[in-house]
Structures are given as C-alpha cells and as structure tokens.
C-alpha cells in the first residue's frame, strides 16, 4: 500500500520542474492520472503544471499576434496617412478582436502587450513562455515599465523577474513600484501627474442589473481624504445604533452627498434606513459573466427577415429558421472554398466567393425587399425616418462582430455606397466611425447578403456573419 503511494507520488514528483510545452500537455491529458486517484500534493502539482502550460499557451497567442502585427505594418505603404481608412496598426487590432471575440479595447491591449513582449520586454516574454510567470504578472511588468526611460525600464524588468515566480501579482506590483520610484523618480512623478490630468467620473452597468459609479485617477491624497471622511461619518452613525454594515452606510452617505445634500442633512436622511436594507438575510449577488439568453434574443428577429421570400421564391412564414439556413449555407460555401484552396490564395478566393454569393442572392433579395411593401429603394441619400427606425430596430449596435457601440452613436451606412447602391433596408446598417473606416480599409470587405445579414471578410480571408438577432 505504502509503496503504491510512493510510486504515484513519483509520477508527478519531477514535474514541478517540468517545462511547459507539448510534453507537459501530454502528461496533463494522460488518462493514467485520474484526478480522483491522486494525493492532495499531486493535485496541487497538477494545478501548478496546468498553470505553467496556460502561460506557455498565452505566450504563443501573443507571439502569433505580434507576428501578424509585424506583417501588416511591414506591408503598409509609406506616405501621407489616409484618414478615410484605418492605419495598419488599428486594422490589425480589429482583425484580432474579431478572431478572438474580444472587444476592440481588449484587442488593442493584447496587440500592445504582444509588441512589447517581442520588443523591449523580451525577457518577460521568455519568462511567460517558460511558465515562470503568468499573464497577469506579464501585464503588471509591462504596465509599470511603459513610461520609464529605457535604461530604468530594463533594470526594473530584470529585478522584477528575479522574484516574480514566487510573488503574487500584488506583491510584484508593489515591488516594481518601489524599484521604479528608486530608479526613475521623475518618470514616476510625471506619470502620476499625467494620470491625474485624465481624472474622470466613470459609470458602467453590472451583470446584476445595478450600476457602478467611480471617481477615477484622483490624486491619492484626495481619494484617501474623501474615503476617510465618509468612513468616519459612517462609523459615527453605526455608533449611534445604525445596525447596517459599514459598507452600506458609507455608500448611502456618499450617494446623499453626491446628490447635493450637505453632511448633516445626509446623516439625518440615513437615520431611518428602509427595512429591506437591514442585514437580516444576506443576499448573494451574482457575478457571473454577462449572461445573454440566446433563446430570448433570437425570438426578436427582425420583421424584414421574417417576411422575406426565400431565394427560391417561396414565402417563408417566419422566424430565424430561414435566416439560420441561409447563414448555414453561406458558412458551408465559404468553408468549402477554404478547404480546397492553396493557403496563399485563401484571402482572394474567399473575397471572390463572398462576391459571388452576394450576386447569386441579388434576385431573391430584391424580391424579398419588394414583397414587403412594394418599395425597394428610396429616393435620396438620407433614409426617411421610418426606414431609419426599422434599421435601428434591426441592429441595436454597430454591425462589426465585436462592437458594442449603440446604434444612436452610429452612422447608418450604405453597405454599397449610395449610387450605385440604394437607400433601402437591404443596403443600410449601422456602423460606428471606427468600423466605418475599417470597412474602407484595403483588404476588408463588407457585404449585406440579405437585409440585415452582414458578411465581413478580413485581410486574412476569415469571415464573420452578423445577424440582426445578435442581441
Ligand atoms: Zn431593398
Ligand atoms: Zn463599431
């Protein structure tokens, strides 16, 4: 019995030092070590090994992004920048955003980190790839060294990496901060001043249906003074018998003050708390990912598609079923092209196939559009109000796959530019300014294959279909 345990331990023993990569992936996926059969110690070793493997994979992700970024910027033609289109750097961010299904901001952060890890922070990149640090530590090192002079940044990075593998991200951040303050005090001060110049009041909705409100980038002494003052007043209330948790009192007090009450009035307002605030039952607040119920969303498919005639000419009663079939068919066609073409010809082949699909659907698309109210195409460039409302009802946001820009902040774009394109539901869709420019950037192509169904083609020959029932 005891020898069996010793053997099992040996199995994972050396892997504390086992570098991440294909071999570790095999060890981790091996059916031999059923987790239920492992000792506690072995389980922790498996967890640590999996984390190293994750770092390795993340290094790979960033290296691939850096390579693509170098290719795209290398191919950019020098000369006067054209403000109607996106720069190579901006456009590659949109490619990454669509491919990884992350927001434009998240993609920009990734591209930036990727560039730094193959450039000035190559040692940090190597540590990530070797599984000595994880992605959040790499981000911490990158963020803290960004505004330092080269020489100081190099020293801070080297010193940070010495201990990073045994420190938490918080410990690492504090250590880097001390190092930076010692090595480049002026740069640290200047960064602080610059951040304070960007101070702002931010607001964002949470998954719970509540809203957060935050004062960001205040001078540290101001923020602490305000916090201490509110805490002291809240403690006073608690002392006077307010049974609620300090956090709750503090928040309500701050709310009253921000509404414009003076402190005594705010205190008076809080003396009688509403009964549901009493800490009788602790309500758990869900902090899951932003839940979107797809079933509910797809139920609200757009009327123009619901009433559309099928390409064959048959009228479809209906719903998303026709749209799903159409999208399916397009997906299959493009996948077929992708699977049967030389890799270097992929972008051009996909662009041509998309063009053909768009042409093949032209007749049915026109019929579907006419069938609705016998008017296909309106005079003039600007859509009439009713048509505009229809377009806005169809898409609540910009129609780039990862964009969340609300429709009221978008242009209603003619997918095929007006003349030869028409002002019609089959040729209009909301685009934010950025993605309007992206659409015009060389290598990108946007088709409205069916009213409200947008087909994006990227420079690499990837495609994304955005439907009207996206949200
Ligand atoms: Zn039309
Ligand atoms: Zn957009």
Read off the pLDDT of residues 172-191 as tens digits, 9 standing for 90 and up: 999 999 999 999 999 999 99
pLDDT at 295 (0 to 100): 32
Nearest ligand to residue 103 Cα: 2
Dump strand ranges (E) for 199-344: 200-205, 211-216
- Is the torsion defined by CA of 326, 328, 329, 333 positive or negative? positive
Mean pLDDT for the stretch of residues 273-302: 34
pLDDT at 130 (0 to 100): 94
pLDDT bucket at 217, cuts 50 / 70 / 90: very high
Give the neighbor-by-neighbor strand order of the sheet with 453-457: 445-450, 453-457, 463-466
pLDDT bucket at 290, cuts 50 / 70 / 90: very low
Distance (Å, whole) CA 230 – CA 193: 25
Look at the chain and count its residues. Answer: 471
113-129: per-residue pLDDT in tens?
Answer: 999 999 999 999 999 99
The pLDDT > 70 percentage for the chain reads 83
Expressed in angstroms and rounded, the spacing between residue 96 Cα and the centre of ligand 1 is 32
pLDDT at 289 (0 to 100): 31
Nearest ligand to residue 438 Cα: 2
Angle, CA 396 vertex, CA 209 and CA 83 arms, to 5°: 115
425-439: per-residue pLDDT in tens?
Answer: 999 999 999 999 999
How high is the mean pLDDT of the chain? 83
More confident residue, 247 or 305: 247
Q: List, in order, residues 6 or more apart from 349 with CB less than 8 Å away.
A: 337, 338, 341, 461
Q: Is the pLDDT of residue 293 over 60?
A: no
Mean pLDDT for the stretch of residues 276-300: 33
127-169: per-residue pLDDT in tens?
Answer: 999 999 999 999 999 999 998 999 999 999 999 999 999 899 9
Q: What is the pTM of this model?
A: 0.70
Region class of 467: left (phi > 0), else alpha (psi between -120 and 50), else beta: beta
Mean pLDDT for the stretch of residues 384-390: 91
pLDDT bucket at 63, cuts 50 / 70 / 90: very high
Neighbours of ion ligand 2 (CB under 5 A): 398, 400, 403, 405, 432, 435
Expressed in angstroms and rounded, the spacing between residue 86 Cα and the centre of ligand 1 is 29
Neighbours of ion ligand 1 (CB under 5 A): 369, 376, 424, 426
Mean pLDDT for the stretch of residues 267-280: 52
**What's 56's DSSP letter?**
H
Expressed in angstroms and rounded, the spacing between residue 401 Cα and the centre of ligand 2 is 8
pLDDT at 418 (0 to 100): 87
More confident residue, 283 or 275: 275
Expressed in angstroms and rounded, the spacing between residue 316 Cα and the centre of ligand 1 is 17
The pLDDT > 90 percentage for the chain reads 59
**What's 450's DSSP letter?**
E
pLDDT at 16 (0 to 100): 54
pLDDT bucket at 285, cuts 50 / 70 / 90: very low
Expressed in angstroms and rounded, the spacing between residue 199 Cα and the centre of ligand 2 is 26
pLDDT at 380 (0 to 100): 87
| Token pair belonging to 212 | 């957060």
| Token pair belonging to 20 | 């991440």
């Amino acid at each position: 019995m005891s020898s069996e345990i010793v053997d099992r331990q040996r199995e994972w023993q050396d892997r504390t030092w086992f570098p991440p990569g294909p071999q570790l992936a095999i060890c981790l996926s091996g059916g031999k070590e059923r987790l239920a059969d492992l000792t506690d110690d072995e389980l922790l070793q498996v967890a640590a090994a999996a984390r190293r493997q994750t770092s390795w994979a993340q290094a790979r992700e960033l290296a691939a992004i850096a390579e693509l970024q170098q290719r795209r910027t290398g191919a950019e033609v020098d000369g006067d920048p054209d403000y109607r289109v996106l720069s190579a750097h901006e456009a590659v961010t949109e490619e990454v955003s669509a491919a990884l299904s992350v927001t434009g901001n998240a993609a920009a952060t990734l591209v930036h980190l990727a560039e730094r890890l193959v450039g000035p922070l190559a040692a940090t990149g190597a540590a990530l790839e070797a599984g000595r640090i994880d992605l959040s530590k790499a981000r911490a090192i990158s963020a803290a060294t960004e505004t330092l002079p080269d020489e100081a940044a190099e020293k801070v990075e080297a010193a940070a990496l010495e201990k990073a593998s045994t420190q938490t991200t918080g410990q690492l951040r504090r250590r880097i901060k001390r190092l930076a303050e010692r090595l480049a005090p002026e740069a640290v001060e200047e960064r602080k001043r610059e951040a304070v110049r960007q101070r702002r009041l931010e607001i964002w909705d949470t998954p719970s249906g509540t809203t957060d409100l935050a004062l960001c980038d205040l001078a540290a002494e101001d923020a602490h003074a305000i916090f201490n003052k509110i805490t002291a007043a809240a403690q006073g209330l608690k002392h006077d018998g307010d049974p609620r948790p300090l956090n709750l009192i503090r928040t309500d007090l701050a709310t009253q003050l921000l509404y414009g009450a003076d402190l005594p009035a705010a205190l008076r307002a809080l003396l009688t708390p509403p009964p549901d605030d009493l800490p009788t039952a602790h309500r758990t607040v869900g902090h899951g990912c932003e839940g979107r119920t797809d079933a509910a969303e797809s139920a609200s498919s757009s009327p123009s598609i619901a009433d559309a005639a099928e390409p064959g000419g048959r009228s479809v009663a209906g719903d998303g079923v026709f749209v799903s079939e159409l999208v399916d068919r397009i997906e299959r066609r493009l996948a077929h092209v992708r699977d049967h073409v030389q890799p270097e010809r992929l972008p051009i082949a996909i662009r041509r196939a998309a063009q053909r699909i768009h042409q093949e659907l032209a007749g049915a698309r026109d019929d579907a559009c006419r069938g609705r109210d016998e008017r296909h195409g309106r005079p003039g460039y600007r859509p009439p109000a009713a048509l505009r409302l229809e377009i806005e009802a169809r898409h609540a946001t910009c129609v780039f796959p990862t964009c969340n820009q609300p429709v009221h902040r978008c242009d209603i774009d003619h997918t095929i530019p007006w003349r030869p394109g028409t002002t019609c539901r089959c040729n209009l869709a909301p685009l934010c300014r950025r993605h309007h420019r992206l659409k015009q950037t060389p290598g990108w192509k946007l088709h409205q294959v069916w009213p409200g169904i947008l087909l994006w083609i990227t420079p690499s020959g990837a495609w994304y279909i955005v439907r009207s029932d996206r949200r």
